[in-house]
Structure 1
């Protein structure tokens, strides 16, 4: 099953799709807000009825429904319009152009295309590796180290582990 479909299925519980796609803080905030609203609605309606003034149970229930609806709509919107798989064809085209510009020594053109790829999919390990190589070529070792480390942190980064570790070693120098 494609990743977009899994995210679509997860959208029925607020926060889960965001956490699964790397938006942990936003996902935890959504999940916490929804859980608090649902728990308060249940407590006010059936458990501590006399602890809340009349109308609070309805307010909490409406808050839970609105939180769920907003989270659901946001997730559907994100999966439909913003998910990296939707932009895969453009990413492939940009990567080819970036590689061609890199091989021709046009570092800035290559960097701009790679940055556009990362704007569409910030977890693209291949683009991060390419960005690190561009930064090495343009004598920006700190930016190169950051790009290489981000590459290793991504799911697809393990395939580049040897190359990235070798590049990081050469950036740190032989005595590091």
Structure 2
């Protein structure tokens, strides 16, 4: 794990907000900011507003709480970043990948949904599920997953794969939009050719029969 990821542990609630987008951690982050700024104001700008001993004691308590929370966040960070590896449930991503390669779309979708239930922001699982949706005729759902991945910081290393998958979705959309019209035109041309061939056969019935007999 990259050591820079632990920088988010230095602010209470930031790691959950940054990596998982949990809004439940937002009040903690805002509350810590309010308390910290209030103590800085009371300690350095207006030290006479309250008893200096009381302000100093509050600073010590906040500092100790900050250290404890930083240690707690650092211990929980691996679980936030790689919950599948630390979960008691077996990792089914390899099975989902195998089912995808075998074009077993129902099995792949079921396994990938189970993986995402444990780790909702896993880029490889989201990419594969987008491919499953694309192969099963659900381009809108596939595009929605790609749009979701574009908003994830953790998905930055997968930008090339994300854009490639989006290009495939656009290609399939264009094919589905123009495919039926082309099929209708091809069918109409085939019917017209068939009518011409039938008319020609009727006009040249004896000669065709002679050719067939000769053959």
Normalising by the smaller structure, the TM-score range is 0.5 to 0.7
Q: Is the 8 A contact 1:44 1:56 kept in 2?
A: no
So what's the TM-score if we normalise by structure 1? 0.68
Q: Which residue of 1 aligns with 2:49?
A: 51
Q: Give ranges in structure 2 of 5+ residues lacking alignment.
A: 179-215
Stretch of structure 1 that moved more, 41-50 or 15-24: 15-24
Q: Which residue of 2 aligns with 1:125?
A: 123
Q: Deviations over 1:73-130 (max 9, x none)?
A: 5412422434318719x9x952320122234454333123223333444443322121
Q: Which residue of 1 aligns with 2:111?
A: 113
Q: Is the 8 A contact 2:83 2:118 kept in 1?
A: no
- Aligned-partner Cα distance in 2 for 1:145–1:108: 19
- Aligned-partner Cα distance in 1 for 2:72–2:113: 25
Stretch of structure 1 that moved more, 139-148 or 150-159: 150-159
Stretch of structure 1 that moved more, 35-44 or 114-123: 114-123
After the TM superposition, which residues 5-44 of structure 1 pair with which residues of structure 2 at under 5 Å, given as runs? 5-18=3-16, 20-21=18-19, 23=21, 29-44=27-42
Q: Which residue of 2 aligns with 1:157?
A: 158
- Aligned-partner Cα distance in 1 for 2:143–2:166: 10
Q: Which residue of 1 aligns with 2:95?
A: 97
Residue from 82, 85, 101 that aligns with 1:84 = 82
Structure 2 residue matching 1:136: 3-state secondary structure: helix
Count residues with an aligned counterpart: 174
Q: Deviations over 1:23-76 (max 9, x none)?
A: 385676544322321221233344324434798736853773475256425412
- Aligned-partner Cα distance in 1 for 2:126–2:30: 33
Stretch of structure 1 that moved more, 19-28 or 9-18: 19-28
So what's the TM-score if we normalise by structure 2? 0.58
After superposition, the Cα gap between the structure-2 partners of 1:80 and 1:113, relative to the gap in structure 1 and judged at 3 Å, is same
After superposition, the Cα gap between the structure-2 partners of 1:82 and 1:25, relative to the gap in structure 1 and judged at 3 Å, is closer
Q: Give ranges in structure 1 of 5+ residues lacking alignment.
A: none
CA RMSD of aligned residues (A): 4.1
